[in-house]
Homo-oligomer: A and B are copies of this chain.
């Protein structure tokens, strides 16, 4: 299967931003289980890493390549630091605009993928699960779907001072990323606010798939977001299952999420 890593000058984050990709354009058909996915044009999936992660995570630990083959997906995996795919408020630090707009535009220009909303999905794990939700809700005209796995949906916890179970995440680091906790709940960093804003404006929401393991410390905040989505009557699917915060869980549920979204 075609694969690579490349980088380009991204203005939003003022970096030669790096991403990995797999492209199902050289697939031998016998490798594919369900050929119906090859009766349609290739769809695109942006896959986001978790905290401390990098562009190869979904390739080395995860099943990005297998999913690309089975579902006829061009998969793009950016490296974007530990900023939760959020904008820092100045040109050069806007990681949300990078993933949601500039990267997409660049992929369109160079590869021709991500052209149509119905063909463009974003997914991620942990920090990247939050990032996938937040980015899909920030750019709903770009993404028709979102797959959020073991998502770090901690906005409410951060705002109310509940410390992270992640030993990496100090209070100082959290403040550097999310800003003043007192302003967080009502900001557009809160997916609930984002969703309600889209609703008010009469805009289409992305379809949302969420999954969380029952041994994951993020279980409670994911259930809370599930309740919010149910209350909002959003088009979503939420799954819980035995599992922890690891590749065994993410690989199984990425597959389940894609199967639900693409069938």
Contacts and interface: CB of A to CB of B under 8 A. Distances in A.
Given A2-B6, A93-B176, A110 B25 contact: yes
A51 interface: yes
Interface in A24-75: 25-26, 28, 31, 51-54, 56-57, 59-61, 64-66
Interface stretch (A82-90, A198-206, A255-263): A82-90
Contacts of A4: 4-7
Interface stretch (A8-16, A137-145, A154-162, A213-221): A8-16
A215 B16 CA distance: 25
Contacts of A170: 90-92
B54 A173 contact: no
A18 B54 contact: yes
Q: How large is the interface on A (under 10, 10 to 19, 20 to 34, 35 or more residues)?
A: 35 or more
Contact of A90 (B14, B28, B176): B176
Interface of A: 1-9, 14-16, 18, 21-23, 25-26, 28, 31, 51-54, 56-57, 59-61, 64-66, 79, 81-82, 88-93, 106, 109-112, 168-170, 172-173, 176, 246-247
| Top-6 shortest CB links A-B | A4-B6, A2-B8, A90-B172, A16-B54, A9-B26, A60-B65
Given A1-B8, A25-B110, 20 more contacts: A2-B9, A3-B7, A4-B6, A5-B5, A6-B21, A7-B54, A9-B26, A9-B28, A14-B51, A15-B52, A16-B53, A16-B56, A18-B54, A22-B60, A60-B64, A66-B247, A92-B170, A92-B173, A93-B173, A112-B112
